[in-house]
């Protein structure tokens, strides 16, 4: 999770919402892929940290199925990312901060709890949540200060 937090900080330094993700092989401890949010820089609304890490891991493994791997992410995955996690057949998801407004695992759509979900990973929540939430709070506090009262759609990730 510390690597995911570093990826989140790097994303914040680029002006992206500070979310980081890491795919790890628990059998070997190998970090297969790591990424931070990049929808602004990549001009890609799907460039969430989880999606970017899953894509990189799939390319590295030469297989879109990532069965048995663990995904660490600093913020509860949104419904889009939860769907991608299910399709990738990730074995375990570990996330830091809850996202009551935009999350799709423990909140909102609860993608893995739906009968139409084909693959349900093991889920662990709250790992280093104080640090993860702190990055988001600092980031959004600074953005609000620059825009003096203008709300943003991504502020839902502040939790």
Q: Residue 37: inside a domain, yes or no?
A: yes
Q: Residue 142: inside a domain, yes or no?
A: no
**Which among 76, 78, 3, 85 is positioned nearest to 36, based on CA atoms?**
3
Number of domains in the chain: 1
Q: Does the pLDDT at position 158 exceed 70?
A: no
Instruction: Report, as an integer, the average pLDDT of 96-123.
Output: 97
pLDDT in tens, 114-157: 999 999 999 999 999 999 999 999 999 998 876 654 444 444 44
Query: pLDDT: is 132 or 158 the higher one?
Result: 132
Token output for 78:
């949104």
Q: Residue 139: inside a domain, yes or no?
A: no
| CATH code for the domain of 30 | 3.40.140.10
pLDDT at 155: 43
* 48 assigned to a ligand binding site: yes
> Does residue 52 come out as left (phi exceeding 0), alpha (psi in the -120 to 50 range) or beta?
alpha
Instruction: Report, as an integer, the average pLDDT of 98-103.
Output: 96
Among residues 7, 50, 76, 157, which one is catalytic?
50
Residue with tokens 């702190």: 134
Q: C-alpha distances in angstroms, 50 versus 13, 78, 120, 143?
A: 18, 9, 16, 23
Q: Residue 60: inside a domain, yes or no?
A: yes
Rounded to two decimals, the pTM is: 0.90
Q: Residue 152: inside a domain, yes or no?
A: no
pLDDT at 87: 98
CB-based burial of residue 92 (10 Å sphere; 0-12 exposed, 13-18 middle, 19+ buried)?
middle
Q: C-alpha distances in angstroms, 47 versus 21, 29, 149?
A: 12, 25, 27
**Which among 44, 46, 24 is positioned nearest to 34, based on CA atoms?**
24
pLDDT in tens, 65-89: 999 999 999 999 999 999 999 999 9
pLDDT at 143: 86
In the chain, helix, strand, coil percent, each to 5? 40, 20, 40
Cβ-contact 53, 59 below 8 angstroms:
no
* 43 assigned to a ligand binding site: no
State yes or no: is 150 an active-site residue.
Answer: no
* 117 assigned to a ligand binding site: no
């Amino acid at each position: 999770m510390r690597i995911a937090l570093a990826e989140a900080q790097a994303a914040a330094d680029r002006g992206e919402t500070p979310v980081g993700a890491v795919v790890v092989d628990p059998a070997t401890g190998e970090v297969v892929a790591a990424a931070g949010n990049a929808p602004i820089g990549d001009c890609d609304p799907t460039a969430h940290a989880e999606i970017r890490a899953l894509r990189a891991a799939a390319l590295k493994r030469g297989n879109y199925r990532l069965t048995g791997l663990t995904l660490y992410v600093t913020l509860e995955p949104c419904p889009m990312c939860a769907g991608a996690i299910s399709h990738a057949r990730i074995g375990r998801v570990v996330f830091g901060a809850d996202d009551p407004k935009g999350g799709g695992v423990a909140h909102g759509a609860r993608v893995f709890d739906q009968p139409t979900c084909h693959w349900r990973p093991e889920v662990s929540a709250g790992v280093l949540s104080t640090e993860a939430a702190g990055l988001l709070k600092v980031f959004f506090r600074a953005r609000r200060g620059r825009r003096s009262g203008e709300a943003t759609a991504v502020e839902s990730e502040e939790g």
